[in-house]
Structure 1
């Protein structure tokens, strides 16, 4: 069953508070600027900023890691955290629309190209008729996965298929591929059970893949709208600490850190 973000805001907010307190180990430190982030590469980038840049900028940065794509937004909306860094603009737009939240982008930081991976195949051309391909099961990233396959001639989507496209929007499927929709975090583990999987960049890196080298096909960075953002609740865009962090995340030091650490698997978008 598709798990697009159609859960009510009230339920999500309750979950965010519960998970947020678990992740934080208690209440939020009033003196700290707390940012919710996916572990890789977001939390790693933030930790670099915290350890090397934040003190000199007068920013008391605290990083809280979350492994899902819902709680960071609900925690930002209800004030459990001050900001988040894990998502793209299309995902944020869809989340706000479905959940009646008002979270806004502050600055674009990096792109994690979505890629097609396999334990057994050496090339996307090796996909056999009737092969099973796992894809993210939530809105926007599922559409990104299908568009990646389309861009590489594997399928063709119906005209007008947008950011909420699903396998039902496939117009041509020459190899009769079967699609298995899974939680994004489960996709790397699914590779033992499927022929290939389209995996978000952060989860691919966590699973020790090197997207620039290991992906059978990889999203192009050119004109790509899916850069990852620093985001806050509307009305906080010009807060002092928000502006400090935005400046640090788009600094030459962070750009060099991204280039050196991720070797093309994460690309600075500033």
Structure 2
């Protein structure tokens, strides 16, 4: 009888020890990213969160598929797109998404393996730009800022190639998958792609650019290009997701972004330091 009582007591003690871990089950949140350049940022976010919430990054080569997966419920959040991309996706597909946080602003600059300055462009040269609506429009705006082309001023931040009203060098502006533009640079005079894709290919988005726009996060024209964390509309107030936002928008994350990426990525959230 005493042996039975001892066994029961042992089991009760073991259960009491295990109970806290059983009641604090880990919550896994799937977050879509494009490429892997931002993985180090999320490592800092995970450290801020602790162990109860586990972030699982799901990498895509094209954000269009990430948004579809979010809409279908295969993901919990996305953290790759800027406001303009989300706006276009929502207009085209009727997604019911909600922005739950601003993250950073990254430049979209001009790269080349054949020329060192846009003044070296020749008549009929090829320039590669992204083939999705929002990044295509942004790339065209970059070329306009560089004085290479002039766009119809009535087209806002989403112009198309047909909206070019002046092209003195008769440049052949070719729309291409933004993910392959870095590797296609040897075959063109120049190309424009997103900073994260450039980083994934080993290109410094600022130092390696032959033309770079100065970034001011407060500039109204750049607001459509602020990167964001997005949830389904019904989940915008989800407590776990809000904890992830809080863990992201911390000074140590802003400091890490500034130290690790330099001017390639500029944190814009409230927790960012003045230096960031």
Q: Deviations over 1:69-115 (max 9, x none)?
A: 11111111111111010000011011011011111211110112101
Q: CA deviation at 1:40?
A: 3.7
The answer to whether the aligner puts 1:235 opposite 2:234 as a matched pair is yes
CA distance in 1, matches of 2:104, 2:81: 10
**Residue 70 of structure 2 is aligned to residue 76 of structure 1:** yes
2: CA distance, partners of 1:100 / 1:42: 28
Task: Give secondary structure in 1 for the equivalent of 2:159.
Answer: coil
Aligned to 2:90: 96
- Once the two structures are superposed, residues 180-232 of structure 1 have per-residue CA deviations (whole angstroms, 9 ceiling, x without a partner) of 11011011111011110011111111111111211112233221121111000
2:208 and 2:139 map into 1 onto residues whose CA distance is 16
The equivalent of 1:199 in structure 2 is: 193
Residue among 29, 49, 52 paired with 1:54: 49
Equivalent pairs counted in the alignment come to 240
Q: TM-score, normalised by structure 1?
A: 0.85
Q: Give the equivalent residue in structure 2 for 1:244.
A: 243
CA deviations over 1:6-45 (Å, ceiling 9, x no partner) = xxxxxxxxxxxxxxxxxxxxxxx99311111112433332
Structure 2, gaps ≥5 residues long: 1-24, 270-276
Contact 1:133–1:194 (Cα < 8 Å) also in 2: yes
Match of residue 267 from structure 2: 268
- CA distance in 2: counterparts of 1:43 and 1:79, whole angstroms: 22
User: In the alignment, what sits opposite 1:221?
Assistant: 215
Could you tell me the TM-score, scaled by structure 2's length?
0.83
- Deviation, 1:163, is 3.6
CA–CA separation in structure 2 for the residues paired with 1:69 and 1:198: 17
Does residue 131 of the first structure (1) align with residue 125 of the second (2)?
yes
Q: Relative to structure 2, which stretch is displaced further, 118-127 or 33-42?
A: 33-42
Residues 47, 67 of structure 1: alpha-carbon distance in 2 compared, 3 angstrom cutoff: farther
Q: Tell me the equivalent position of 1:42.
A: 38
1:210-261 Cα distance to aligned partner (Å, 9 max, x none) = 1121111223322112111100010211111111111111110110110111
Question: How is 1:9-28 mapped onto 2 (pairs within 5 angstroms)?
Answer: none
Structure whose alpha-carbon radius of gyration is higher: 2
User: Which residue among 114, 119, 131 is the counterpart of 1:120?
Assistant: 114
SS in 1 for 2:235: coil
Check the 8 A contact 2:26/2:54 in 1, yes or no: no
Task: Classify the secondary structure of the residue corresponding to 1:216.
Answer: coil
> What root-mean-square deviation, in Å, do the aligned CA atoms of Structure 1 and Structure 2 show?
1.6
| Distance verdict in 2 for CA 1:90–1:165, change over 3 Å | same
Contact 1:130 1:175 in 2 (8 A): yes
